[in-house]
Amino acid sequence: MSGTAGDPRGQQAFGDRLWEATAERGALCVGIDPHPALLEQWGLADDADGLARFSDICVEAFGGIAAVVKPQVAFYEAHGSAGMRVLETTMAALRASGALVLADAKRGDIGSTMAAYARAWLDDRSPLAADAVTVSPYLGLGSLGPALELALGSGRGAFVLAATSNPEGASVQRATTPTGRTVAQGMVDEVAALNAGAAPMGSIGVVVGATLSEVPDLSAINGPVLLPGVGAQGGTAADVARILGPRARLALPAVSRDILRSGPSVGAVRDAALRMIEQFGFLTGDQ
């Protein structure tokens, strides 16, 4: 596989690595969402120690089987510096196990502040460096330039929020621009331009809610499509197939609660993840 153009390390592009990982392990992104109610359900304290135990169970359950694991950064930030240390350790352990790590941070800002966010999540020198990070473009996709440039220059990736399933998002994302496109479609089209010509796919993805009945045109995206909302929120394999159609190989369904509620047994959590991976085997031709 080719490395990312301009990458001083010659590392494979994230799009290449993700394509290979999903071919080997199945097209699924498993979330780590240690919110207080789930910690309580697992018999763990809502503190840094409970967070660490929860995360260790998830690493043991997912690290060897999932193509992508997505820690929700907010639940670690809520515990301050101790929580962020747990996140650093968790991300390092996941990557050592062979999983790709998607930091669900949803960062978005301008100028030097955006550049600092990019360094935090995408720079080799940062202990928080992930394989990819979620970013919010609603200060304009151009404001994400520092993150997108660093991602493409370091063999990493980014997932740009485009069409989310929360009801409040529609008033912004479905608004029509002077070009006649919706705002969400404009985001998708700009990301598609960044991925043009990449093979087997580009390294900049978009986020599209799996429960949406109306979605942007994804025919030119040529990059991964993260589809949260599968499972407990009502999204199904049929929804994923409907949204991506003939481009199903680009789909990356994201599942958290439907798997995590099986805990705290490592075996039970792993089995739940394996069942979900099997459910989406059609995305990589495994069914």
Superfamily name and number for 14-284? Aldolase class I (3.20.20.70)
- In the structure encoding, which two tokens stand for residue 140, read together? 């304009």
* % of the chain residues with pLDDT over 90: 90
Average pLDDT over residues 183-211: 97
In the residue annotation, 70 being an active-site residue is answered as no
Structural contact between residues 38 and 45, judged by C-beta atoms closer than 8 angstroms: no
Q: How many angstroms separate the Cα of 95 from the Cα of each of 78, 129, 131?
A: 23, 11, 9
List the domain boundaries for the chain. 14-284
- Kindly name the residue from 85, 106, 174, 249 that is annotated as catalytic: 106
Task: Give the per-residue pLDDT at 285.
Answer: 82
Q: Please report the DSSP string for 208-261 in residue order.
A: E-TT-SS----TT--S-EEE--BSTTSB-HHHHHHHHGGGGGGEEEEE-HHHHT
Structural contact between residues 99 and 69, judged by C-beta atoms closer than 8 angstroms: yes
Task: Give the per-residue pLDDT at 205.
Answer: 98
Report residue 121's pLDDT band, with 50, 70 and 90 as the boundaries.
very high
Residue 54, pLDDT > 60, answer yes
Task: Give the per-residue pLDDT at 9.
Answer: 36
| Secondary structure of 187-217 as H, E, C letters | HHHHHHHHHCCCCCCCCEEEEECCCCCCCCC
Q: Could you read off the pLDDT of 67-79 as tens digits, one per residue?
A: 999 999 999 999 9
Residue 5, pLDDT > 90, answer no
- In the structure encoding, which two tokens stand for residue 179, read together? 């070009």
Task: Give the per-residue pLDDT at 7.
Answer: 35
How far apart (Å, rounded) are the C-alpha atoms in residues 152 and 204?
Answer: 8
